[in-house]
């Protein structure tokens, strides 16, 4: 049944093209990016149901606006146009197989949890899950990205002690928590993060119920089940690590008990 919309975002990259035929079996495909990230000579519109070109932020005060703003805004604008049951968003620089596995993950996610891939999950940093593939019911994905957009443009970047400025991965999960109005427990201690590249320091108030927050709200899409795949990391020689298969395993490997 075609009840899913696939939102492809980021810099236009032809790596994803071989999976478009399989994606089309399950629903519509929307490319949502900016004109700066799209070379029209590369674009073959026959693969897509819709191509959106979004305006970039002109506000230099927005935190990391060139990356996170464009990411959030591109997905949100596409999500607003969806009338499908589910949305799956992913960058164009990857190509996956066995898309039916993602559909099964969506159908099994009855709790409407935060469903994301296991690429780049960092058990050493609290709330650092993954922002590559995020999937869920359309209303949930709209809610996450609308909340993230409002947090960003209103400079409202800390939720329940979680400082989302550290990275997009934390930003989007904090947006999920805020959208669902989930509260943190009493602060057990503070996690301190120093960003030496930007010469900034951040703190996350670690709640006593961190373990239950993760296990009750995180579901994993195992990228190894999407093989054969093509991963094209373009940021700081990013290492792809798909070792974590579940929220329970993440907690087991984490030092935040």
Q: What is the DSSP string of the chain?
A: ---EEEEEESS--GGGGGGHHHHHTTEEEEEEEEGGG--TTT--GGG-SEEEEEPPP--TTSTTIIIIIHHHHHHHHHHTT--SSEEEEEETTEE-S-HHHHHHHHHH-TT--EEEE-TT--TTSTT----SSEEEEHHHHHHHHHHHHHHHHTT--EETTEEGGG-HHHHHHHHHHHHTTPPP-SEEEEEEEEETTTTEEEEEEEETTHHHHHHHHEEEE-GGGG-S-EE---STTPPP-----SHHHHHHH-S--
Smallest Cα–Cα separation from 71: which of 32, 40, 45, 102? 32
Q: What is the pLDDT of residue 8?
A: 97
Low-confidence ranges of the chain (pLDDT < 50): none
Contact (Cβ atoms closer than 8 angstroms) between residue 75 and residue 152 = no
Distance from the Cα of residue 255 to its chain's centroid: 24
| Residue 200, CA atoms < 13 Å, CB-side half-sphere | 9
Give the number of other Cβ atoms within 10 Å of residue 52's Cβ: 16
CATH code of the domain made up of 4-155+214-253 = 3.90.550
Give the number of other Cβ atoms within 10 Å of residue 85's Cβ: 16
Q: What is the pLDDT of residue 68?
A: 87
Domain extents in the chain: 4-155+214-253
For residue range 140-196, list pLDDT tens digits in order: 999 999 999 999 989 899 999 999 988 899 999 999 999 999 999 999 999 998 887
Contact (Cβ atoms closer than 8 angstroms) between residue 43 and residue 12 = yes
Q: What is the pLDDT of residue 242?
A: 86
Structure tokens at 79: 């999500």
Q: What is the pLDDT of residue 42?
A: 67
By DSSP bridging, strand 162-163 and strand 158-159 are: antiparallel
Structure tokens at 197: 């590249």
């Amino acid at each position: 049944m075609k009840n899913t919309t696939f939102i492809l975002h980021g810099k236009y990259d032809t790596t994803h093209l071989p999976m478009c035929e399989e994606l089309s079996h399950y629903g519509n495909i929307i490319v949502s990016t900016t004109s700066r990230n799209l070379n029209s000579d590369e674009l073959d519109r026959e693969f897509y149901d819709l191509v959106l070109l979004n305006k970039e932020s002109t506000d230099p005060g927005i935190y990391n606006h060139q990356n996170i703003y464009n990411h959030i805004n591109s997905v949100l604008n596409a999500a607003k146009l969806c009338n499908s049951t589910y949305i799956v968003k992913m960058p164009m620089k990857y190509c996956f197989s066995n898309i039916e596995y993602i559909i099964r993950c969506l159908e099994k996610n009855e709790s409407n949890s935060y469903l994301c891939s296991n690429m780049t999950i960092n058990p050493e940093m609290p709330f650092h899950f993954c922002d590559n593939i995020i999937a869920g019911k359309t209303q949930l994905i709209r809610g996450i990205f609308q909340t993230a957009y409002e947090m960003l443009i209103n400079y409202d970047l800390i939720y329940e002690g979680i400082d989302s400025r550290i990275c997009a991965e934390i930003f989007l999960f904090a947006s999920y928590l805020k959208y669902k109005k989930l509260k943190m427990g009493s602060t057990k201690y503070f996690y301190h993060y120093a960003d030496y590249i930007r010469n900034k320091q951040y703190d996350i108030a670690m709640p006593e119920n961190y373990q239950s927050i993760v296990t009750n709200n995180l579901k994993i899409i195992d990228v190894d089940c999407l093989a054969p795949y093509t991963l094209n990391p373009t940021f700081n020689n990013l290492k792809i690590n798909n070792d974590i298969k579940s929220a329970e395993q993440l907690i087991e490997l984490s030092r935040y008990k």
